Amino acid sequence: MRVLVTGANGFVGKHLCRFLLENGFSVAGAVRTESGLDHLPDGVTGVIVGEVGSNTEWGAALTGVDSVVHLAARVHIIKERSQDPLAAFREVNVEGTRCLVEKAAACGVSRFVFLSSVGVNGEETEEPFSEEDPPNPHDPYSQSKWEAEQDLVERVSRAGELKVVVLRPPLVYGPNGVGNLVRLLAWVDRGIPLPLASVRNRRSFVYVGNLVHAIGHCLEHPSAANQTFLVSDGEDVSTPELIRELGQALNRPVRLFPVSPTILKVAGLATGRSKDIQRLVGSLTMSTEKVSRLTGWNPPFGWKDGIRETARWYSSSRS
């Protein structure tokens, strides 16, 4: 099977390309610029497609392709410069996906795996999210992902043989990753005291090795066709538990002290960091029962295995 991976030079993309190659797939990797070709794993056929949007030319990239994994997206922007962020997200994540899936259907592609986000469900839970919960996207990024999901369902209903799989992961972590978990690693590595000992939350995460395994599984399993799945490590942990495991993996002492989560949230409001504080003290969990029941997929790596691999990469990258 020949698979086109968009965003192939990104964090998840590189891990996915290696996984697919190791499991006998032929892989084409779509990148925006010529410099992106330098970051593709050995064995991947690189294709330059330019900016992803409503007018992207996908013809060359789709030649001979059986399946597509669409990872390329406009993601969270720390310093947003667009005067209309939702329009900017829609151009890439909605219109870009629409353009690709229409071309893929016309080229005879049989399966299209779309990486969405658990943010489509919402940003906080009391009970674990499931695929049956009403969507509650909470920012321009998750709103655009939800609109792209809806558009895919509409397009595929008219696309004949093309089957779509939508995957909604939580925070993805692993070697070469970026974002919140890497910041936590840095804080623990530097011995920074953290006011999180009183936090009693639960959060779902997904190790990149588990995510790419789920993508590979859904590329081939017949029962994954035209389904939406939540995917995670299957083990929910509190922020203090996560930090202690990071410390153990780094062989560093962990310095946690108690501060009321309510006070932390007030501090977040006062400093404009409410979303950052929410991710540290709030709960966001999800059920993976559906993907396990319908396809038999279960994560091959435990969360502690993923944390150790991530910490090993972090330590070696700074030595």
Count of beta carbons in the 10 Å neighbourhood of residue 39: 14
Q: Both tokens of residue 237? A: 């942990």
Distance CA 52, CA 43 (A): 23
Count of beta carbons in the 10 Å neighbourhood of residue 127: 9
Distance CA 10, CA 61 (A): 17
Query: Do residues 243 and 256 touch, judged by C-beta distance below 8 A?
Result: yes
Beta bridge partners of 265: none
Q: Pick from 42, 55, 40: which is nearest to 6 by CA?
A: 40
Beta strands (DSSP E) in the chain are 2-6, 26-31, 45-48, 67-70, 111-115, 163-168, 171-173, 205-207, 227-230
Which is catalytic among the residues 141, 173, 207, 314?
Answer: 141
Instruction: Supply the DSSP symbol for 107.
Output: T
User: Residues near 216 by Cβ (< 8 Å), separated by ≥ 6?
Assistant: 16, 19, 20, 23, 25
- Compute, in degrees rounded to 10, the torsion defined by CA atoms 222, 224, 225, 226: 160
Helix/strand/coil for 134: coil
Distance CA 144, CA 86 (A): 7
Q: Both tokens of residue 31? A: 């990148």
141 labelled catalytic: yes
Pairing of strands 26-31, 111-115: unpaired
Residues labelled catalytic:
141
